[in-house]
Structure 1
Amino acid sequence: MENKVSFSVIHGLRFKTALLLLLIGILPFMVCVPISLRAYKSVSIHTDASNLMAQAAQYNTQIVTTGYILGEKNSLLDTELKAIAASYNGRILLVNSALKIVKDSYSVDIGKTIIWDNIIHSMQGDSLYYFDEDTNYLIVTVPLSNSDGDIVGTLVINKSMEYINQNVDIFVSYILIGSVVVCTLAVVIALFFSIRYSRPIRKMSDSLDAIIREYSNELPEVRSYTELEEVSGKFNEVIKKLQAIDESRQEFVSNVSHELKTPLTSMKVLADSLNGSEDVPIEMYREFMLDIGEEIDRETKIINDLLSLVRMDKSGAQLNVSAVNINELIEHILKRLKPIAEKADVEVVFESFRPVVAEVDEVKFTLVVTNLVENAIKYNEEGGWVHISLNSDHQFFFIKVEDNGLGIPEDSVDHIFDRFYRADKSHSREIGGTGLGLAITKSAIAMHNGEVKVRSKLGEGSTFDVRIPLNYIDKEVH
């Protein structure tokens, strides 16, 4: 359990935010300090080298004109150069053109030959410096020239740079104190901002937990980051959609129970009436049995429609797609519905603007056309008309089913595709509809990646516009 809690804390946004802010505060400090120390050391060496070269150049004329470079004695120069060497805690050598040491502030290597790249380059006119990391000494070589411009020797000055290490040690001690302060501030700031930044997310998490435990049914409005506000809004949309689905499911179960119970109740009443009466005339038996048969047919139709919906609603439902001549299919459907239209005294007209062949599931698409046209006939007046048109472009084909029948109330248009919904309940009962036909129609159209729209005005008729792709594309194919 403790390991699980530790894992949760480490992978939490608050911990990661605090760690990120801590690194942002400390890393620049850790990177800048070594760079600053190195830069200080480099600048100090270069500055001291430049000063030593300038100082050596000041003695050029005096060393050359007095013959000091040739080894002649000059107590004044001896004293000055030894004093300079002592002040630098270093050493001064005077090397002639033959690379022999003429003067030495230590007086130990006079007469010896010295061969070193920097001295050789200085004999060619270059002023150079070199810093020895091991001994911590700066060595400067400066060429000495006569009045004719000829190089007659080199002045070599060694200077101890120990003061740099001493200064660095002082800096490091201050830096350690500063680093403690910086780290402490970084930790405090990181914790403060991590708590502040993660608080809205924690509130959202608590709100979601309350929704899960059914204490609440909506996320409170979060005033924080734009992205989090958008996420909160999307969550509320999803929650409302799930609530609508749950309400729809409950209503669906209630409607199914009611629709299935009604025919059974009617049959029970009819059967009890027959069983409870003696010497019932044969005509009454026949009448009651016809009524029972009609209720059985109605029950069967409801069950068949429900089964159709269930098959379409299944996530793995498949279409048996094939190339179908839509013109011929619609004509065949209208031929089957002709007796219903003639009985209702409704004129059915089919208008085709071009031949259309599309990839559809013939059985399910037949349900679409049948339900739309049959509804247009049934919910019509005597002497009315139904107009079906077929057209297409390069991508879709279009079916329009238009009638001048009863129409749909404005407040019912958005609900006519809901299961068991009836805009005119009394008329629907007379006709014998189940309230599932348009729900089946919409599901079948959706399975074909199509869409259906309706326009209607009460007392003037309705128009259903269906658009379906000519070529079926499986949504699971990417």
Structure 2
Amino acid sequence: MKSLTSRMTLWYALIATATVAVILTGGRFYLEYSLLRGIDLLNAVEFEEIRSRIEEQGPEASVADRIAAVHQHAELDASLYFFQVADSDGEILYRSANLGPYQLPEALHGHPTISYEDPELGWIRSMEGQVGDLDVHVVSWLDSTHALFDDYERASLLVCGGVFLLSLTFGYFLSRLALRPIASIQQTAQKISASRFSERIPVPNTGDEVERMAVLLNAMLDRLESAYEQVKRFTAEASHEFRTPLSIVRLQAEKLLNQPSLDPEEREKSLRDQMEEIERLNQMIDDLLFLARSDAGVMRLESRDVFLAEFLEDLQCDVNLLAEEQGLRFVLDHPKNLIWKLDPVLIRQVLLNLISNALRFSSPGMTVRLAVSVRKESLVFSVEDEGAGVPEEKLGRIFDRFERLEPESDSGSNGLGLAICRSIVERHGGNVGARNRQDRSGLVVEVRIPFRGDV
């Protein structure tokens, strides 16, 4: 019974059979009630006729005359009823001829109506009533009625058996029909593989739970396909990023190995190149591990209430050194006496990364500005530069991993800095975006951190 189709079929058959059995049982009791009520009515009619015959004799009539009146009536219906008359002391005064010497059982006395199984008479239905000082019993046979009940019960068993078998048949086809969308889901799931992630489950237009489940599963497959493509792209890009520094290290090592006569200055330069590439590899590995921890949700935030004026002025001291070295001007604009809950170490990393990018793409004499404000219960950091900006088609991708804003040959970046910034900001419950300036050339990067966000 591990098959859902089998279980549904069996449950359908059992419920259908139980329903029919309950209906037939109710019919059996209603039939018995109706028949006994009809027999009681006939017995009552007979009793009333006997009463009227006795009363016709008058109040002064003798017992013999009254018994004669009963006998006269009993002769008319002797084939259908038993009659017995007793006096107030219980002495039998009259028995209908069809009773012979047999006397009605004592169990019938004291009951207006009662059904009773007698060893001699079989099933009978008795009615007892008083006519003056006479105790009159009118009794009907129930053998034919009980035979009808037996036939009904046998027929009911046959009907229940037939209903069970038919329900198994119909239930099987109905369950197969109902589970056809599930079978389609199963077939589609079997087709899905790394090379066929585009398969989707057909959505039945039924408006029921199966349709909603198919929609949810397709949405899940969309997310899985997107995640798979992201991992696939990330793997390809990571392997490409690792290949270049590793190739340089290998070539420099081969150069040292194959040219032992290199002069010390050339040898030192080769070793220095190797160390630079190894350092680049180490930085890339650290960045990838950081992103992996963030993706896995295990990156912990050391959030606390930070006095922003002090935090930003400390940041400004470091940035001023970088700006002055490149002949640039750095401007900080922030409100006073503002406290916000965040991880100061990670947010400092975000701001330094964004400001470093702005400095890198600015020419001497230009200004880089960091403006801090509060909008709609969010803390907003805006980093503005006066560089060339970013092509519109690239704006939506600059926070992707291994996406560079400049050719690889001209960059010391591994293309992970902005991706790390986005990861940190999202971990604070915020978001980061970029747009080109409208008033002049340059780029604006905005970081939004909600007030006491999910940190």
Which residue, 132, 144, 148 being the options, matches 2:116?
Answer: 132
> What's the offset of the Cα at 1:29?
1.2
2:388 is the counterpart of 1:406: yes
CA contact (8 A) 1:324 1:360 kept: yes
Q: CA separation in 1, counterparts of 2:31 and 2:6?
A: 37
Partner of 1:80: 73
SS in 1 for 2:396: helix
Q: CA separation in 1, counterparts of 2:30 and 2:434?
A: 78
CA contact (8 A) 1:345 1:384 kept: no
Partner of 1:207: 188
Partner of 2:346: 364
Deviations 1:257-293 (A, max 9, x none): 33344345556777888997999897x8998888777
- Range 166-175 or range 461-470, more displaced: 461-470
Identity within the alignment, %: 22
> What's the offset of the Cα at 1:209?
1.6
2:285 is the counterpart of 1:319: no
Q: CA separation in 1, counterparts of 2:412 and 2:310?
A: 29
2:410 is the counterpart of 1:443: no
Q: CA separation in 2, counterparts of 1:462 and 1:153?
A: 120
* Gap change, CA 1:113 and 1:318, over 3 Å in 2: closer
> What's the offset of the Cα at 1:212?
4.2
Q: CA separation in 2, counterparts of 1:23 and 1:241?
A: 42
* Gap change, CA 1:18 and 1:470, over 3 Å in 2: same
Q: How does 1:224-239 map to 2 (within 5 A)?
A: 225-226=206-207, 227-239=209-221
Deviations 1:309-345 (A, max 9, x none): 3443444333333333333223322321122233445
CA contact (8 A) 1:347 1:385 kept: yes
Count of matched residue pairs: 443
* Gap change, CA 1:288 and 1:185, over 3 Å in 2: closer
Q: How does 1:232-311 map to 2 (within 5 A)?
A: 232-263=214-245, 265=247, 298-311=280-293
CA contact (8 A) 1:324 1:358 kept: yes
Instruction: Give the unaligned 5+ runs of structure 2.
Output: none
Partner of 2:51: 60
Q: CA separation in 1, counterparts of 2:10 and 2:142?
A: 41
SS in 2 for 1:408: coil
Instruction: Give the unaligned 5+ runs of structure 1.
Output: 1-9, 119-127, 145-150
Q: CA separation in 2, counterparts of 1:158 and 1:389?
A: 106
> What's the offset of the Cα at 1:14?
0.9
Partner of 1:39: 30
CA contact (8 A) 2:43 2:139 kept: no
Partner of 1:27: 18
Q: CA separation in 1, counterparts of 2:371 and 2:194?
A: 52
Q: What TM-score, normalized by structure 1, do the two folds share?
A: 0.78
Q: CA separation in 2, counterparts of 1:464 and 1:82?
A: 117
* Gap change, CA 1:215 and 1:249, over 3 Å in 2: closer
Partner of 1:147: none
> What's the offset of the Cα at 1:156?
1.8
* Gap change, CA 1:265 and 1:179, over 3 Å in 2: closer
Partner of 2:83: 92
> What's the offset of the Cα at 1:192?
0.9
Q: How does 1:94-109 map to 2 (within 5 A)?
A: 94-96=85-87, 101-105=92-96, 106=99
Partner of 1:167: 148
> What's the offset of the Cα at 1:299?
4.5
Q: CA separation in 1, counterparts of 2:58 and 2:85?
A: 12
Q: CA separation in 1, counterparts of 2:391 and 2:62?
A: 124
2:314 is the counterpart of 1:332: yes
CA contact (8 A) 2:389 2:441 kept: yes
SS in 1 for 2:448: strand
> What's the offset of the Cα at 1:401?
3.2
CA contact (8 A) 2:353 2:418 kept: yes
Which residue, 454, 468, 471 being the options, matches 2:434?
Answer: 454
Partner of 1:196: 177
Deviations 1:18-49 (A, max 9, x none): 11221232111122112211211111111211
Partner of 1:466: 447
- Matched to 1:179, the amino acid is C
CA contact (8 A) 1:353 1:390 kept: yes
> What's the offset of the Cα at 1:198?
2.1
Q: What TM-score, normalized by structure 2, do the two folds share?
A: 0.81
Q: CA separation in 2, counterparts of 1:344 and 1:320?
A: 33
SS in 2 for 1:319: coil
CA contact (8 A) 1:99 1:114 kept: no
2:63 is the counterpart of 1:71: yes
SS in 2 for 1:434: coil
Q: Over the residues paired in the alignment, what is the CA RMSD in angstroms?
A: 3.9
CA contact (8 A) 1:71 1:103 kept: no
* Gap change, CA 1:165 and 1:314, over 3 Å in 2: same
* Gap change, CA 1:273 and 1:140, over 3 Å in 2: closer
SS in 1 for 2:77: helix
Partner of 2:374: 391
SS in 2 for 1:136: strand
Deviations 1:77-126 (A, max 9, x none): 413224424313xx22234556654433247599x9999433xxxxxxxx
* Gap change, CA 1:84 and 1:393, over 3 Å in 2: same
> What's the offset of the Cα at 1:193?
1.1
SS in 1 for 2:434: strand
- Matched to 2:345, the amino acid is V
- Matched to 2:147, the amino acid is Q
* Gap change, CA 1:414 and 1:13, over 3 Å in 2: farther
* Gap change, CA 1:296 and 1:49, over 3 Å in 2: closer
